[in-house]
Structure formats: structure tokens, C-alpha cells
Amino acid sequence: MSDDTADMPLLVILRHAPHDGSWLREGLDVALVAAAFGRAVTLLFMGDGVEALRPGQTAGPLGQKGTHPTLDMLAMYDIEDLRVDATSLAERGLSTAELPWPARSVAAEELPAVIAAASPVFNF
């Protein structure tokens, strides 16, 4: 708890799929609040969280809001640093080329450094 963390970005790890409870939305809300106060924010999509980036999603059958409009909005909050875990992406048959947002692919061996370079880290 002793290292200097003031210059580090806040990291939100998104591990839950869209339309699966409120995890994804709550994680994005934390990122938006931090960014609204001028904090540098990194988003890391991991596990089922990478499903948030899959193109072609809509609102839910009962009219529940989808997350794509929120992802489109991130740039307005100056949240530009999107990372995606390459392993999780490959496991789901996705590639960065087909993602509608410029998310940077993070190889497994680079993942610990991304997490260690951020503070605080929030997992959703």
C-alpha cells in the first residue's frame, strides 16, 4: 500500500457479458464517474466481458438498454484506453478487427503488467 499511485490510471476490469444482470453496466458507470471527475481510466475487457464488444447487439427483449450506446459514449468522457484480453477474445471466436471500437489486444504475458500499472483496480 506504500507505492505512489497518483499518476496511475484507474482500471475497470469488465468480466461480465451484456444482458447478464447489471455487472457490466455498473462497471461502466464506475468508469464514467471517474472520468467525469477528470481521472484517467483504462477499461480491460476479460472473460465474458469481451462479449460487450461483439458487433450487432440491441436492447433486450423487454426493452432493457443495451451497452453499445454507452460504449459509443466513452470517447465523450475521454475514455480512450480500451484493452481486451487476447485469450478471452480468441476463446469466443472474436478478433480485434471485427470490434466496433479500437480496443487494443493484450497478450497473456502482458496482462499482469496492465493490472500492475493501474490503481485502483475495480473488477466487475
Partner 1 sequence: MLLHLLNRSPASSRLIQDVLRAMGPEDRLLLIESGVYGAVPPQSAGFETLKGRCYALQEDLTSRGLAERQADWIIPVDMAGFVALTAETQRTVSWY
Partner 2 sequence: MATTSIARHLTVEGRDVALDPEGYLVHLEDWTPAVAEALAAEEARTLTAEHWEILDILRDFYRRYEMAPAMRPLVKAVGQRLGPEKGRSLHLMRLFPDSPAKVAARLAGLPKPTNCL
Q: Which residues bind partner 2 (CB under 8 A)?
A: 29, 32-33, 35-36, 38, 65, 69-70, 72-73, 76-78
Q: Indicate which single residue of 47, 54, 96, 105 sits in contact with partner 1 (rule: CB under 8 A).
A: 47
Q: Which amino acid is at 117?
A: A
Q: Are 99 and 72 in contact (CB under 8 A)?
A: no
Cβ proximity to partner 2, 77 vs 122, nearer residue: 77
Cβ proximity to partner 1, 57 vs 87, nearer residue: 87
Q: Are 85 and 45 in contact (CB under 8 A)?
A: yes
* Torsions phi, psi for 120 (to 5 deg): -75, 170
Q: How far apart are CA 41 and CA 109, in angstroms?
A: 22
- Residues 101-120, interacting with partner 1 (CB under 8 A): 108, 111-113, 115-116, 119-120
109 Ramachandran zone, left/alpha/beta (phi>0; psi -120 to 50): alpha
Does residue number 70 form part of the binding site for partner 1 (CB under 8 A)?
A: no
Cβ proximity to partner 2, 72 vs 110, nearer residue: 72
Q: Are 49 and 13 in contact (CB under 8 A)?
A: yes
50 binds, among partner 2, partner 1, none (CB under 5 to 8 A by kind): none
Q: Indicate which single residue of 46, 74, 79, 89 sits in contact with partner 1 (rule: CB under 8 A).
A: 46
